[in-house]
Structure 1
């Protein structure tokens, strides 16, 4: 049921996208729904989550592995860049929380708002270590399964 947005049944999953373009597309798609209020973007640190021993699952890989049919019949294209966190997202994983309309008013929202917040978060997590000065977003993205 979590894969089909027409079904509003609670699940133990929290879904997210790992691509700015996919986030923009999803926000645009959801903006036309009258029963939906303001949209928010919560950014998490996958490295913190994995260090806490909590899983991150690649939705497309899981659908393929378990032969789950795409409810939108789009050859799973909708689920590219989609991941799910099981059970919970802890406060120590959260980098920030923004109202989408405020972010979207800045054409370079990802580069000017999200990336600096991510860097600041990682520096605070690794303060005093050499890793803080060698932050590499691709290294974090590579830690995602799939």
Structure 2
């Protein structure tokens, strides 16, 4: 896939069209227009058709017998795990929390040293940053 066509595909993914694409990413089977309309509380089936056609024209969806399914995965900040879209930062945040717990329990010295406090502070800042980015990505709903 060329960089130009990837940019065009990303330009389409905004607002309701992004929500439609995210819903289809999470779905394990082809989704019809009515099903999409009900799931996302769209005002009419023609609105759902408009967004599905927009995604199909961008090459992100394909028509199948039962409806539409994703043909091209554009996941930059998320990883698809089963039916869930998990932010990439989540895995880094879990690792950073594990490192912090190990520093606080296993690696704790009898007397506090400057290096230990610095390491602890650095890890704590990393945990806060990664947790913030994870929550931000989850709430914003970006790919």
Higher relative contact order (CA 8 A, sep 6+): 1
Structure 1 length normalisation: TM-score?
A: 0.28
Which protein has the larger Cα radius of gyration, Structure 1 or Structure 2? 2
Which structure shows the bigger proportion of residues in strand conformation?
Answer: 1
